[in-house]
Chain A
Amino acid sequence: QKEVEQDPGPLSVPEGAIVSLNCTYSNSAFQYFMWYRQYSRKGPELLMYTYSSGNKEDGRFTAQVDKSSKYISLFIRDSQPSDSATYLCAMKTSYDKVIFGPGTSLSVIP
């Protein structure tokens, strides 16, 4: 079993839709949870960061962590064509390196 699993997609939605992106993980020691966004032919950029369980909201983006289920989610409200990218979940313990999921490719169709 991979340490971090993520549905690779591709996911295609109409503009304005609510998008849900998810990752599951196996290491219960993970405490820091991140979402990176990677546009085509670019490096990943940190989108959101959450420590431990709970929700975090930033504009149209909401990150959720459920440590009991080992499950994290990223919600995008009112999705825009500019949200079209690959979304990588990532996580780490307090003393170890960042582990990335394989990424989900998202296309938002105007």
Chain B
Amino acid sequence: EAQVTQNPRYLITVTGKKLTVTCSQNMNHEYMSWYRQDPGLGLRQIYYSMNVEVTDKGDVPEGYKVSRKEKRNFPLILESPSPNQTSLYFCASSLSVGDLNTGELFFGEGSRLTVL
């Protein structure tokens, strides 16, 4: 089954404790991206990757890191989480940058993070 898998789905942590949210897709997609979703603000892009070893900042990259060492994986790293990073996080992928023109992003089921 074609899917984007995120883990963990739910996480409560404390300020300053490093954490990683994993994302994996099995569709051989070139493009991957991380979003955060907050009430009233919609989906905001954190980082994206056009292909392996190619990553770039989105609209709200502060406090986050990413890496793309393999095509299928795109982990999101919070080196020192703070309460303002409490949010619902989504990983998404698309076959290629060109296919983005159809708007077809495939999303994971989300990771709800609470930072105390």
Contact = CB atoms under 8 A, between A and B. Distances in A.
B105 A46 contact: yes
Contact of B109 (A41, A46, A88): A41
A12 B40 CA distance: 18
A97 B45 contact: yes
B42 A103 contact: yes
Given A41-B110, A43-B90, A98 B100 contact: yes
A41 to B, nearest CB: 7
Contact of B103 (A4, A6, A32, A103): A32
Interface of A (DSSP majority class): strand
A88 B107 CA distance: 13
B45 A90 contact: no
B41 interface: yes
B36 to A, nearest CB: 11
B41 A102 contact: yes
A108 to B, nearest CB: 21
A77 interface: no
Interface in A38-69: 41-46, 49, 51
A34 interface: yes
Contacts of A44: 43, 90, 105, 107
Closest 3 CB pairs of A and B: A43-B107, A34-B103, A102-B42
Interface of A: 4, 6, 8, 32-34, 41-46, 49, 51, 88, 90, 92, 94, 97-98, 100-103
